Amino acid sequence: MLLRLAWAARSRHRSRTLLAVLGVAVSAAMLLDMVMLSSGMRASFKNLLLSRGFQLRLAPKGTLPFDTDATIPDASGVAQTLRAIGGVATISPVLGGQAHVIRGDRAVSATALGVDPQVQGDFELLSGREPHASDEMAANDDFLNAAAAKIGDTVAVAAGYDPQLRVYAGRLTLRVVARARFLYLAAGQRAIALPLATLQAMQGPASADRVSLFMVRAAPNVNVDSLLRRIQTAIPTVSAISTETAMRQVDERLSYFRQLALILGVVSLAVGFLLVSTLVTVSVNERLGEIVVMRAIGVAKRRVVLQIVLEGVAIMTAGAALGLVLGLGTARYLNSILASFPGLPAAIDFFLFEPRDAWTALGMLVSAGLLAGIYPSWRGASLPIAVTLREEAVA
Amino acid sequence: MTAPLLRALDLRRDYHMGDEIVHAVRGVSLDVHNGEYVALVGPSGCGKSTILNLLGGIDRPTAGSVAIDGARIDDMSDADATHFRLMHVGFVFQRFYLMPALTAMENVELPMAEAKMPRAERQKRARDLLAYVGLAGRRDHRPSQLSGGEQQRVAIARALANQPRLLLADEPTGELDAKTGAEMIDLLGQVNTDGTTIVVVTHDEDLANAAKRVVHMKDGVVVDDRLRASR
């Protein structure tokens, strides 16, 4: 009967209820987006770092991976030392550089990654096979489109270009054997991957036995922090970064986003709260006669309060459900805009949906609806019955 | 002589209107026995409705006491008084005050649902009560689809839902035309004949004449209280 009364009360002013639900839906969508934004980038970045199972990254001392052009010398020696440390399962060396693909009288520049195809963790194959042979390469669609190349084509690739002499250095003819999606590169960034030794040779003596980065996968059941400490002790010429360390650095860099998300989320919640609070207050004021008569005929105060609170919660819940759909749509659209955010991997999602986020937003909204209904309903149910009836009669 | 069903002793009710204190009821004592039909009459502002509110426990006296079936309703907590009204007192108001969103049937069911009566039982009783007040065919109508007289009948059925021994009615014919008012008077007479004690506040002479006992009030005090000679 209580639910019936709450439903009936809301159905009585359908357009008003609908507008309130829509208002709450907009507020809920905003709140959900802000909750997704506050945790989405972080979660997305962590997922990305762990997507290929490498928990540690070794960069030249004092740098972050690919933050500078610095490289780690004596890469084979470092790899040997790493293998000797217990608990290391896989080592994936990566050398970064520039590549210029000469097509007729023009050149297409791209990021070049020298990798060990057996253990690489930088790209996923979309079609074709890993570039195992020294004259093979994989490329992403941005590169293939720009170079008008496809799998099976051979292309002339140079590792350097001297603008004064106008000559390309480290030229080699490579065969495209795969289309790939590079995990850590920004949207639109052209990229190719080739065997590490090939890229080292193309870059000349300066890159001999050098790499930009080692990615390390720990053996099962090995404590990553403990492994990190052992690596740092054994190889003082590198900076070892665990996923957790990287996440802390990401956290620092993303603090502005999180603050923005927090403020906008609180504003959304407050708007929803005020909307429902206003609606319930208006509704209570319109129904004072009914409310005090319910009290007069013996309906307990707490049941009257509960009925009115249910109305607020129903509006919030309906609005939140609608807002969930709206929020996901908005997040998808915003993600597509922000995918080309400079300097960030295209695989990063700003708004990452996790069921926990939806529950958090829903929980906050329903709580706000509950709180929004409590004061006006308690006030209405606490009015002196006889006096209110007389005033209603006079009115 | 058996104990009265309703006993009011030296009831007083003051209202504060700014700095001024209005003495709406100035020491009213009243005993109403089981099965009585009492009409409270008097000029506007004499305190009739205030007395009725005090008797039903929807207002608190400034001084004095009200006991229904021996239970001091003026001394009860708000929650206890509310539950007492639910189970022992039926209210009928001048303006009906039905829940507009509920059907006639649901309006009658409301106090029974609050009293946690099983659904099937309360639906049967609601149907019986609506038949009793002559609205068997209007069960699924909402108040807005009913005439004033029909709404007041539903209100009486609602008041009788939990089989109260005492029915309090404040100007129950005040919003009705003469013909409908007369039907209401007949219905209240029937309710009383069937065993419910009634106290009614009215300006309506016909309604007052239908009561077995008429209590005249003036300026917050009872000035006359007599049984009607012939009924």
Mutate to test the interface with A, among B15, B22, B82 (most CBs of A within 10 A): B82
Q: Is residue B10 part of a domain?
A: yes
Residue of chain A minimizing CA distance to B117 = A1
| pLDDT tens, residue by residue, A22-56 | 988 998 898 888 888 877 777 887 887 787 788 89
The answer, yes or no, to whether residue A280 has pLDDT greater than 50, is: yes
Structural contact between residues A112 and A194, judged by C-beta atoms closer than 8 angstroms: yes
Q: Is residue B220 part of a domain?
A: yes
Q: Residue B231 has what pLDDT?
A: 47
Using CB atoms and an 8 Å cut-off, which of residues 117-176 of chain B contact chain A?
Answer: 158-159, 162
Residue numbers in B near A3 (CB within 8 A): none
Q: Is residue B113 part of a domain?
A: no
Residue numbers in A near B115 (CB within 8 A): 298
Q: Which pair of tokens denotes residue A110?
A: 């791209």
Spatial distance between the Cα atoms of A272 and A31, rounded to a whole number of angstroms: 10
Residue numbers in A near B109 (CB within 8 A): 1
Looking at the 3D structure of chain B, how many domains does it have?
1
Using CB atoms and an 8 Å cut-off, which of residues 282-341 of chain A contact chain B?
Answer: 289-290, 293-301, 303
Q: Do B58 and A296 touch (CB under 8 A)?
A: yes
Average pLDDT (A301-319) is: 88
Q: How far is A289 from chain B (nearest CA, A)?
A: 7
DSSP readout, B174-210?
TTS-HHHHHHHHHHHHHHHHTT-EEEEE-S-HHHHHH
Q: Is residue B221 part of a domain?
A: yes
Spatial distance between the Cα atoms of A116 and B37, rounded to a whole number of angstroms: 103
Mutate to test the interface with A, among B78, B99, B162, B170 (most CBs of A within 10 A): B99
Instruction: Say if A86 is an interface residue toward chain B (CB within 8 Å).
Output: no
B46: containing domain: 6-98+164-227
| pLDDT tens, residue by residue, A120-150 | 888 999 999 999 999 999 999 999 999 889 9
- Structure pTM? 0.70
Q: Residue A363 has what pLDDT?
A: 86
Q: Is residue B193 part of a domain?
A: yes
Please give the mean pLDDT across all residues of chain A: 86
The answer, yes or no, to whether residue A364 has pLDDT greater than 70, is: yes
Q: Residue B126 has what pLDDT?
A: 97
CATH number at residue B182: 3.40.50.300
The answer, yes or no, to whether residue A194 has pLDDT greater than 80, is: yes
Q: Is the dihedral of CA A75, A76, A79, A81 positive or negative?
A: negative
Q: Is residue B156 part of a domain?
A: no
Q: Using DSSP, how many helices (H) and how many strands (E) does chain A show?
A: 12, 12
DSSP readout, B53-103?
HHHHTSS--SEEEEEETTEEGGGS-HHHHHHHHHHHEEEE-TT----TTS-
Of the candidates B59, B94, B111, the beta carbon closest to that of A297 is on B111
Q: What is the ipTM of this complex?
A: 0.92
Instruction: Say if A384 is an interface residue toward chain B (CB within 8 Å).
Output: yes
Q: Provide Rg for chain A, Cα atoms.
A: 31
Q: Do B110 and A301 touch (CB under 8 A)?
A: no
The answer, yes or no, to whether residue A104 has pLDDT greater than 80, is: no
Q: Residue A356 has what pLDDT?
A: 82
* Parts of chain B with a pLDDT under 70: 1, 229-231
CA angle A315, A316, A317 (to 5 degrees): 95
The candidate with the shortest Cα–Cα distance to B46, out of B178, B203, B204, B212, is B203
Q: Residue B19 has what pLDDT?
A: 86
